[in-house]
Structure 1
Amino acid sequence: MDRVDLKPPSDEAGRRADAYAAAPLLNCLLREVAEPLPPAGEHRVFRLPGTGRLLRVRAGRRPAGPEVHAAGAWHRLDHAELVKLVAEELRRHTGRPCDDLPAEMLDSRETVAALLAARARATPPADPYLRSEQSLITGHPCHPAPKARGGGPSAAWLPYAPEAHARFPLALLGVREDQVAEEGDTSALDALGTAPPGYRLLPAHPWQLDLAAHALAPAFADGRLVGLGATGFDTWPTAAIRTVYEPRRDLFLKFSLDVRITNDIRRLWRHDLLALTRADTAVQGAFRAMGPPAAWLPDRGYRTAAFAFEELAVLVRGGLRDALLPGATALLAAGLAEGFEGSPLAAAKDPGAWWEAYLRQVVPPVLTAFAGHGVVLEAHLQNTLVAVDRAGLPVQALFRDAEGVKLLPDVSRAAGWERLVYCLVVNNLTEIAGALAEHHPGFDPWPAARRELARNDLPEIPALLASPTLPGKTNLLLRWTGADGAAARYLPVPNPLAGR
């Protein structure tokens, strides 16, 4: 493999950025490729089968301190050296090269460094909901490059980064009326400004407008598009980056963004937009049948320009006020897993009571939607909001993002169930359980999770509780092999529910 330079990071800021960037990459490597060996003290030891090297890390939900064995001793790896090690291992393991992913891994680390520096100068939002949405420095805990921003200079993306506590106005465009394409209820867009006669208002994400400037230049030149300045108010980017929230209007807007974030270029793709109404209608029907407290934030409709259908698409999502229980505060589940100032998970005095309340709110709606309505919610951490009461106990779950919803029989029941288990159990419950266990050493969250799942009479539940493994998504191998980000592939990971 490439030579490993055996030197530590040079400063504390660099070490922090390395640690944040290394943890999810190590999680991927250890889940998807490495072969575990007997542990040694506080370290977990692994053999990398492609290169035959030995790797050890400090154990934990976020593995740290990677070291490689060479010349009879263990040597610490910084993030750049870890990327070299992973790249050589994957070349040997898969038998194929990949130039893009190592660059994304390095970009992800540089992004983390820029975010940490920006956060040191920024003021977090006072609203705990917005604080939870803007807390994800690690991001996806099992992705090799969760913070990559397309390799561009930080000046291009930092003004729009939720992790930097950004807030910004939206650009406003006018689209000539004969060029407007829309479906559903988009009336909220017309209240954001004033379009000239013969035009319809279309808000745009400023970063996307910069990215698509060359492609849009002819439309500005011939009058199909006109610039109308910017909104007179700021919006707050949420964890999804391309989705923003305007608290006074209680309005979520989701935009296209021609940047690869985790596995996909984050456009609002035409095929997804055309399927939006059907998916959202099915989910709304499921939640109406369930009744409160579970809630769905509906994707009401989209508007775009026919000549730039995907580039300029904006989706209107329902807000929080009509969905939240009185007196409850919504928080992003991913923020609870990662941690933020004022998190009720970190402050929970009785982890068992808090966890059982979380399970009661999150698990039944997902299973009921599947069992009774053939709806597969993508109930991972970024699509799940948990509302807490004044004591910090979960009292409600709110779900979002019709783009990720699957419907039976569009997918087979087996494939839908596998996706449900991955999103709900592996991605969501495992991370929340791990965060609780970190705050309360010795706490075992899995008997309660098993009881909550067993209350449902779905025919798949007994096998889930008995299986020694669960489906773990292979984000590292997906990206290395250049697979479509939507083509999820899974490998077995240990099932903490089994034998409890």
Structure 2
Amino acid sequence: MDRVDLILPGDDVAARADAYAVAPLLNCLIREVAEPLPADGEGDRRVYRLPGGGRLLRVRDGRRPAAPEVCVDGAWHRVGHTELVKLVADELRRHTGLSNGDLPTEMTDSRDAVAALLTARARATAPGDPYLRSEQSLLTGHPYHPAPKARGGGPAAGWLPYAPEAHARFPLVLLGVRADEAVEEGDTSALDALGAAPPGYRLLPAHPWQLDLAARDLAPAFADGRLVRLGTTTCDVWPTAAVRTVYEPRRDLFLKFSLDVRITNDIRRLWHHDLRRLPRTDAAATRAFAASKGPAAWLGDRGYRTASFAFEELAVLVRDGLRGHLLPGATPLLAAGLAEGFDGSPLAAARDPETWWEAYLRQVVPPVLGAFADHDVVLEAHLQNTLVAVDADGTPVQALFRDAEGVKLLPDVSRAAGWERLVYCLVVNHLTEIAAALAEHHPGLDPWPAARRELARHDLPEIAELLTAPTLPGKTNLLLRWTGADGAAARYLPLPNPLASA
């Protein structure tokens, strides 16, 4: 990755980037591999044994662990991100018996990406719209992934113009695809409002970063006229937290593109098999929310358009906007942004955190459980797929869910597997992080009794076990990436269940 101009005068960007990158890597190591040792009177420090080599690791405890130290010859020595990557790689080789040359590089790329983002943010203006600000707030990103900000290892100049964390905004490239080569399914009429295609062609917007990545493969189609360039959109789009999904506020339109870059666990293409199953999963989720009695909403994936000769590379998915679903006067916010923190977050400013948390649970939990219980729909209700709308006082009044690509249906998956996925996404990934962020801002708050009460209101046979089981399923992103497993092949390990102790 390009390391040029990462350090700002008077601001140690390198140290801040290290701190951002160390926290999720430590979270992974502690969750998946390390063995906690009894507290030894070190205050906010916890000591762990790394079983592969027997080394001792000490960290500053908390939601975002920090300041890692390794014991050498009886003395503690501080390690930075570079040394921590080497330590983790060596431990995983010992722990699994496998080698992996790619993941350490991704960890370093992730850290360097954070440094580039910090530099870019210092020169950028955050969006005034609190919704967009929440979508573009994720400097840490997934708190339990070893390389949450990796961008494929390319030079920063290639991806920074499209980075939500750098408060980017940009026009889309408009292409014309010859009509006999165009492929579409569902309602894609919103695409035609973005520009005009010449006779014999269909309009096809493209993400400029993806066009750069796929340039060599697409060159023959431009040469023989199957594709033509038509300029750019007159309005900028804003990249959301997912990077490849953008929002055009004036038209209230979300568009999701393929992006041939690994972000967290997967290459972010719109895969052919996922696009083919999308109408079915989206229709099931739409029916579930139409039958719901509360204000919750589903942002439907209306349809897609692409080119037959570049089906995945040029696919664009049209998603519902916000305005037709939002309660009057409500402001939507990304749940992941609430967990990470951003200027103006109502989570941090809540005057009565207990009441705020109860309202949050009341909006988020029932739609997810209702879709499962009544419609056999397993929503991927993690932090990045959930928007929580608040009223003028900052109180949660509505939840909106998105991403039919991540929806599972029963009996395509077993009920047990669907429930495990639901519990991981909703409770472990989502509620645990919001609860921890709330408790961090409001010391003394115990969020779990309220969560237990909300879950207990729902008549599902699995709820009783959820509230009493000693453990919950935690996804093992570090081991998944180290062993080269497919990103969709989630592997879980048991984590202490805070609902049982509440």
TM norm structure 1: 0.98
1:475 alignment partner in structure 2: 477
Structure 2: state its 5+ residue gaps. Answer: 1-9
**Residue matched to 2:358:** 356
Q: Which residue of 1 aligns with 2:122?
A: 120
Corresponding residue of 1:285: 287
Between 270-279 and 34-43, report the one with greater CA deviation: 34-43
2:368 to 344, 357, 366: 366
Which amino acid in structure 1 is aligned with residue 14 of structure 2?
A: G
Give 1:401 shift. 0.1
Instruction: Report matched runs for 1:109-188 at 5 Å.
Output: 109-188=111-190
Q: Residue 57 of structure 1 aligns with which residue?
A: 59
Q: In structure 2, give the amino acid aligned to 1:33.
A: V
Structure-2 residue corresponding to 1:427: 429
Distance apart, 1:194 and its partner CA: 0.5
Residue 282 of structure 1: how far off its partner (Å) = 0.3
Instruction: Tell me how far apart the structure 2 counterparts of residues 302 and 80 of structure 1 sit (CA, whole Å).
Output: 42
Provide, for residues 396-428 of structure 1, a one-character-per-residue CA deviation record: whole Å limited to 9, x for no partner.
000000000000000000000000000000000
Aligned to 2:91: 89
- Whichever residue aligns with residue 227 of structure 1, its letter is R
Name 1:31's counterpart in structure 2. 31
Query: What secondary structure does 1:323 align onto?
Result: coil
1:19 matches 2:41: no
Q: 2:80 aligns with which of 71, 78, 81?
A: 78
Question: What is the identity, as a one-letter code, of the residue corresponding to 2:55?
Answer: R
1:204 and 1:181 map into 2 onto residues whose CA distance is 15
Q: 271, 274, 295: which is aligned to 1:272?
A: 274
Cα distance change of structure 1 residues 291 and 105 upon mapping to structure 2, 3 Å threshold: same
Where does residue 210 of structure 1 map in the other structure?
212
Aligned with 1:251 (options 227, 230, 253):
253
Of all paired residues, the percent bearing the same amino acid is 81
Q: Does 1:493 align with 2:469?
A: no
Question: Could you say which residue in structure 2 is the equivalent of 1:4?
Answer: none
Secondary structure of residue in 1 paired with 2:291: helix
* Deviation at residue 51 of structure 1 after TM alignment: 1.3
Distance 1:200 1:326 in 2: 36
Cα distance in 1, alignment partners of residues 412 and 94 from structure 2: 37
Letter in 2 for 1:205: H
Q: Which amino acid aligns with 1:13?
A: V
Shift of 1:64: 0.4
Task: Specify the SS of the correspondent of 2:25.
Answer: helix
Deviation digits for residues 345-383 of structure 1 (CA, Å, limit 9, x no counterpart): 010011100000000000000000000000000000000
What is the alpha-carbon distance in structure 2 between the residues aligned to residue 468 and residue 301 of structure 1? 43
- Alpha-carbon distance between aligned partners in 2 of 1:227 and 1:88, rounded to the nearest angstrom: 49
Q: Distance in 2 between matches of 1:499 and 1:68?
A: 32
Aligned mates of 2:376, 2:494 — CA distance in 1: 25
| Cα distance, 1:182 vs structure 2 | 0.6
- Distance in 2 (alpha carbons) for counterparts of 1:34 and 1:15: 25
In 1, Cα distance between equivalents of 2:60 and 2:11 = 20
Task: Give the Cα–Cα distance (whole angstroms) in 2 for the partners of residues 161 and 51 of structure 1.
Answer: 39
Q: Give the secondary structure class of the aligned counterpart of 1:396.
A: strand
| Larger CA deviation: 33-42 vs 148-157 | 33-42
- Aligned-partner SS, 1:276: helix
Segment of structure 1 superposing worse, 201-210 or 287-296: 287-296
Q: Which residue of 2 aligns with 1:240?
A: 242
- Look up the equivalent residue of 2:25 and give its one-letter code: L
Amino acid at match of 1:444: D
Q: Deviations over 1:427-462 (max 9, x none)?
A: 000000000000011110000000000000100000
Query: How much has 1:38 moved relative to structure 2?
Result: 1.2
For residues 18 and 470 of structure 2, what CA distance do their matches in structure 1 show?
A: 34
- Structure 1, residues 204-250: CA drift from partner, whole Å, max 9, x if none? 00000000000000000111000111111100000000000000100
- 1:287 maps to a residue whose letter is F
* Shift in Å, 1:11: 7.5
Q: Select 1:298's aligned residue among 279, 297, 300.
A: 300
| Offset, 1:344 | 0.3
| Structure 1 unaligned spans of 5+ | 1-9
Match of 1:3 in 2: none
Distance in 1 of aligned mates of 2:408 and 2:47: 39
Deviations 1:295-319 (A, max 9, x none): 0000000000000000000000000
Quick one: which amino acid aligns to residue 486 of structure 1? A
Partner SS state of residue 147, structure 1: coil
Q: Provide the C-alpha distance between the structure 2 equivalents of 1:134 and 1:51, rounded to a whole number of angstroms.
A: 40
- Measured on the aligned residues, the alpha-carbon RMSD in Å equals 0.8
The whole-number CA distance in structure 2 between the counterparts of 1:100 and 1:264 is 14
Matched, 1:449 2:451: yes
Aligned equivalent of 1:226: 228
SS of structure 2 residue aligned to 1:38: coil
- How far, CA to CA, are the matches of 2:307 and 2:69 in structure 1? 52
SS at match of 2:499: coil
- CA offset at residue 71 of structure 1? 1.8
Give the counterpart letter for 1:452 in structure 2.
Answer: E
Partner of residue 5, structure 1: none
Structure-2 separation of matches of 1:13 and 1:322: 41
Q: Deviations along 1:68-106, whole A, 9 cap, x unmatched?
A: 000211111100000000000000000010000000000
Distance 1:483 1:442 in 2: 40
Match of 2:406 in 1: 404
Look up the match of 1:6.
none
Q: 1:377 aligns with which of 379, 385, 390?
A: 379
Q: How far 1:13 sits from its partner (Å)?
A: 1.6
Q: Secondary structure at the match of 2:285?
A: helix
2-side partners of 1:330 and 1:399: how far apart? 11
Distance 1:467 1:477 in 2: 24
Separation in 2 of the partners of 1:112 and 1:162? 12
Deviations 1:95-147 (A, max 9, x none): 01000000000000000000001111100000000000000000000000000
The SS at the match of 2:445 is coil
* Stretches (4+) displaced over 2 A: none
Which residue of the other structure, out of 195, 200, 204, is the alignment partner of 1:198? 200
- 2:272 and 2:347 map into 1 onto residues whose CA distance is 39
Letter in 2 for 1:59: D
What SS does the aligned partner of 1:126 have? coil
SS in 2 for 1:497: helix
